[in-house]
């Protein structure tokens, strides 16, 4: 049985202006709206400080901060760039995992750094930048050899971005950035590996021997079995797909986006 949700879970919820609406699109829309709200409140000198994750405040009973801190997105180019990463690569991760599993992944990315920071006195966290970048880590885990910018592979770009961000934060002793970034990146990698079944020990399964029978009329072409292709990716990785299987997977994705 495939560890992924059914094929129906990869069909868009609807379309708006030619854009397929899925979990990724909704998350991006919510974060963009929160950025606009933050900008308006700041314009009226009303910073939504109560949204901030404040470890000491949470322990005093202000539990809502655990889920409101991702909405504290102050307008900046870096926030917009991270939203672009989330939209561009999140759709591919969502299609691969299925919508419900993708939502669980994003929930883990939001909560994982909070759980760790609860053990760090006087810690703070605002915005969803770390979670959004970790979605790209998930993409690079699924498609490590995918060529993105200037022919660079996803795994290399993810490593460069992560290393640069950590070094920059180290220069300013900014542990409030390093800890959530590392936790989210590790959580994304481990989550995908778990969903792929690569964190579990599996005994080798002996495949039955097939015998070709002569004669008989050729069968009609069968519809694309996306789950079978995803099972193959789960077992042996994306690199094991043939050119025909890659084409079938891409056609299936395009067909679902048109529905």
Residues 6 or more apart whose CB falls under 8 angstroms from that of 135 comprise 85, 86, 89, 90, 93, 105, 106, 109, 188
Pick the CATH number of 7-195 from 1.50.10.20, 3.90.1170.40, 3.40.50.10330, 1.20.1540.10: 1.20.1540.10
pLDDT of residue 14: 83
CB neighbour burial string for 186-210, b if at least 16 within 10 angstroms, e if fewer: ebbbebbeebbeeeeeeeeeeeeee
Q: Could you report the per-residue pLDDT of 55-70, keeping only the tens digit for each?
A: 999 999 999 999 999 9
How far apart are alpha carbons 27 and 83 in whole angstroms?
Answer: 9
Q: Could you report the per-residue pLDDT of 104-148, keeping only the tens digit for each?
A: 999 999 999 999 999 999 899 999 999 999 999 999 999 999 988
Banded pLDDT at 3 (limits 50, 70, 90): very low
Least confident of 126-135, 146-155, 236-245: 236-245
pLDDT of residue 89: 94
Q: Could you report the per-residue pLDDT of 198-228, keeping only the tens digit for each?
A: 876 554 555 555 555 555 544 444 455 677 7
Q: What is the mean pLDDT of the chain?
A: 83
The pLDDT of 166-184, averaged and rounded, is 86
pLDDT of residue 75: 85
pLDDT of residue 171: 84
Q: Which residues pair with 15 in a beta bridge?
A: 20
Model-level pTM? Answer: 0.75
**Which residue pairs, CB below 8 angstroms and at least 24 apart, start in 90-93?**
90/24, 90/27, 90/28, 90/135, 90/139, 91/20, 91/22, 91/24, 91/25, 92/139, 92/142, 92/143, 93/24, 93/135, 93/138, 93/139, 93/142
- CA 45 and chain centroid, separation: 34
Q: Could you report the per-residue pLDDT of 81-115, keeping only the tens digit for each?
A: 889 989 999 999 999 999 999 999 999 999 999 99
Domain borders along the chain are 7-195
Residue 258 has pLDDT above 70, yes or no: no
Q: Could you report the per-residue pLDDT of 16-64, keeping only the tens digit for each?
A: 877 888 999 999 999 999 999 999 998 888 878 899 999 999 999 999 9
pLDDT of residue 248: 76
């Amino acid at each position: 049985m495939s560890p992924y949700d059914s094929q129906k879970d990869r069909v868009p919820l609807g379309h708006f202006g030619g854009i397929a609406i899925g979990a990724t699109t909704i998350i991006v829309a919510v974060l963009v709206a929160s950025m606009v709200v933050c900008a308006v409140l700041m314009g009226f000198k009303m910073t939504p400080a109560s949204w901030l994750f404040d470890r000491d405040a949470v322990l005093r009973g202000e539990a809502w901060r655990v889920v409101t801190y991702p909405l504290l997105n102050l307008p900046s180019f870096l926030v917009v760039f991270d939203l672009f990463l989330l939209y561009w690569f999140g759709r591919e991760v969502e299609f691969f995992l299925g919508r419900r599993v993708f939502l669980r992944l994003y929930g883990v990315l939001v909560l994982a750094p909070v759980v760790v920071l609860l053990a760090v006195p006087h810690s703070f966290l605002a915005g969803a930048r770390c979670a959004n970048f970790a979605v790209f880590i998930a993409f690079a885990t699924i498609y490590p050899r995918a060529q993105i910018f200037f022919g660079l592979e996803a795994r290399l770009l993810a490593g460069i971005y992560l290393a640069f961000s950590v070094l920059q934060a180290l220069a300013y002793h900014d542990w409030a950035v390093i800890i959530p970034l590392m936790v989210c990146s590790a959580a994304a990698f481990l989550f995908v590996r778990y969903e792929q079944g690569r964190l579990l020990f599996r005994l080798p399964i002996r495949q039955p021997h097939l015998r070709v029978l002569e004669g008989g009329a050729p069968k009609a072409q069968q519809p694309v079995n996306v789950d079978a292709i995803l099972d193959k990716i789960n077992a042996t990785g994306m690199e094991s797909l043939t050119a025909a299987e890659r084409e079938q997977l891409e056609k299936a994705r395009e067909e679902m986006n048109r529905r």
